[in-house]
């Protein structure tokens, strides 16, 4: 049986303990990065110590080998293995009594593509989706089927007009698919922005998470 290398890596935890957090953000890093990159460039800048951040690490720091615009077969079996890694995290969180409405899926670059793809395969009223420079995975002309409703889930998609990896067209197409499936979508194009998480995107994430107020264990 093929071993999933993403299941052999360590999950990093930042912020509040999961069992006492106001929300849980599943935080997925980009290609060539680690969970620490997301801690330094997202968690620390966000300023929400009451939120739990669950950050899986990709085997060899890469979730799948080629561009997210390549034919799907070129990214297998790693793409399916990545989806399995997130499914295990989802099931563990739900098993701990965390509700879908308390779980926010967030990723940067390759990580944004990963969370977009995963959430599209499991549509429900999650706490939110933050796709920071990313979108749905597959070549031009892919017909993504979202079989269900997001029931008003907030979803944020971003890129820049000059990003070398994530074209505006794919981000807008992904956002349109989520909107058609009932998500409350915001799309932003950040002119001149480098391939990074900008201060504006941190502000948007902070606003998206503002509805989650600190909880005590008794509130569960």
Residue labelled with tokens 């029931």: 151
Q: Which residues are CB-neighbours of 49 under 8 A, at least 6 positions away?
A: 15, 16
- Strand bridging mode 184-189 / 128-132: unpaired
Q: What is the pLDDT of residue 182?
A: 98
Domain extent listing, the chain: 5-210
**In this structure, are residues 70 and 79 in contact, taking their beta carbons and an 8 Å threshold?**
no
Rounded to two decimals, the pTM is: 0.94
Mean pLDDT, rounded, for 95-105: 97
pLDDT at 1: 66
Contacts of 194 (CB under 8 A, 6+ apart): 160
Residue pLDDT, tens place only, 200-217: 999 999 999 988 877 543
Q: For the chain, what is the mean pLDDT?
A: 94
CATH 3.40.50.620, applies to 5-210: no
pLDDT of residue 194: 85
Give the chain as a 3 state SS string.
CCCCHHHHCCCEEEECCHHHCCCEEEEECCCCCCHHHHHHHHHHHHCCCCCEEEECCCHHHCCCCCCCCCCHHHHCCHHHHHHHHHHHHHHHHHHCCCCHHHEEEEEECHHHHHHHHHHHHCCCCCCEEEEECCCCCCCCCCCCCCCCCCCCCEEEEEECCCCCCCCHHHHHHHHHHHHHCCCEEEEEECCCCCCCCCHHHHHHHHHHCCCCCCCCHHHC
Q: pLDDT tens, 7-59?
A: 999 999 999 999 999 999 999 999 999 999 999 999 999 999 999 999 999 99
């Amino acid at each position: 049986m093929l071993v999933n290398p993403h299941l052999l890596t360590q999950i990093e935890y930042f912020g509040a303990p999961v069992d006492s957090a106001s929300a849980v953000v599943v935080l997925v890093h980009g290609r060539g990065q680690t969970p620490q990159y997301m801690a330094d460039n997202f968690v620390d800048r966000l300023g929400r110590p009451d939120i739990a951040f669950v950050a899986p690490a990709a085997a060899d720091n890469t979730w799948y080998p080629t561009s997210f615009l390549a034919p799907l077969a070129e990214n297998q079996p790693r793409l399916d293995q990545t989806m399995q890694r997130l499914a295990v995290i989802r099931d563990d969180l739900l098993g701990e009594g965390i509700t879908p409405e308390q779980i926010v899926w967030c990723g940067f670059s390759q990580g944004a593509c990963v969370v977009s793809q995963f959430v599209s395969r499991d549509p429900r009223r999650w706490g939110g989706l933050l796709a920071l420079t990313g979108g749905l995975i597959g070549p031009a002309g892919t017909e993504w089927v979202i079989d269900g409703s997001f029931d008003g889930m907030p979803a944020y998609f971003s890129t820049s007009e000059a990003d070398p990896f994530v074209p505006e067209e794919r981000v807008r197409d992904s956002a349109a698919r989520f909107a058609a499936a009932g998500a409350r979508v915001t799309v932003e194009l950040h002119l001149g922005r480098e391939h990074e998480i900008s201060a504006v995107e941190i502000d948007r994430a902070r606003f998206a998470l503002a509805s989650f107020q600190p909880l005590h264990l008794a509130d569960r």
